[in-house]
Amino acid sequence: MEYIFELHKTMLSRHLILVYEGEFTQEVTKSVLAMAERNMDSFGEQSSIKRKVFNVMVESLQNIVKHSDDVKSDDNKTLHSAIFMIGKSDTDYIITSGNPVKNEKVATIQQRLEKINSLDKDGLKSLYRDIITNAEISDKGGAGLGFVDMARKSGNQLEFSFKPINQDYSFFSLKTSVSRS
């Protein structure tokens, strides 16, 4: 029972207002968004801030649903585990997600995020227009706009890391901050 108290203390110290870990589906995504919206409403958050946070949350959750890879356990069971968290400080909302990806995708994702982080506001706008004009929809339903949109809406760089799970998969963590002012 001690772990419940430890988890509670961790959530309080990290200012986490919502944490979901498990399989992500469109239905789970809708529920998570609804809970986060209720939380922001209860704080009396400004509608312009709520829109930015909501947009970043939608992109983050869609990234998990569409692009998370299933990892096989040692006994050949499929694991669908991903995580989504939202935290609130005096100055920011912090949207964090994590999901497994195949190691063969790591370099491509990292290059895309580094390119996005290297651009200023006008550069992001130009890249966004370029993707809309020239991109094709992938098999999983994306055109590559999600990360760009997250950077544009948040006005901040996207923090990310990849931690090896095994020889085939890494855990991709993504953090986006949205200013409350």
| Residue with the larger pLDDT of the pair 23 and 120 | 120
Dihedral, 159, 39, 149, 82 alpha carbons, nearest 10: 60
Confidence of residue 143 (pLDDT cuts 50, 70, 90): low
**pLDDT over 90, % of the chain:** 66
Residue 49 has pLDDT above 90, yes or no: yes
Per-residue pLDDT, 87 = 95
CB neighbours (10 Å) of residue 158? 20
| pLDDT for residue 58 | 94
CATH of the domain at 44: 3.30.565.10
pLDDT of residue 137 exceeding 60, the answer is no
The CA distances from residue 177 to 69, 111, 115, 123, 165, in Å, are 25, 20, 18, 19, 26
What pLDDT sits at residue 161? 97
How many residues can be counted in the chain? 181
Gap between the Cα atoms of 33 and 84, Å rounded = 11
CA 41 to chain centre: 21
Q: Count up the domains in the chain and report the number.
A: 1
Cα angle 53-61-12, degrees, rounded to a multiple of 5: 60
Q: What is the mean predicted confidence (pLDDT) over 32-43? A: 91
More confident residue, 43 or 117: 117
Q: Is the pLDDT of residue 151 over 60?
A: yes
User: Please, which pLDDT band fits residue 109 given cuts at 50, 70 and 90?
Assistant: very high
Q: Dig out the tokens for 81 from the structure.
A: 């585990």
Q: What is the rounded average pLDDT of the residues 128-142?
A: 70
Q: Does residue 142 carry a pLDDT above 60? A: no
Residue 153 contacts by C-beta under 8 Å, 6 or more apart in sequence?
52, 55, 56, 59, 178
Tell me how far CA of residue 33 lies from CA of 52, 58, 95, in angstroms: 13, 8, 12
Confidence of residue 81 (pLDDT cuts 50, 70, 90): confident
Query: What's the average model confidence in pLDDT over 70-90?
Result: 79
Rounded average pLDDT over 49-69 = 91
Angle made by CA atoms 146, 119, 130, in degrees to the nearest 5: 55
pLDDT for res 43: 87
User: Based on C-alpha coordinates, what's the Rg of the chain?
Assistant: 17
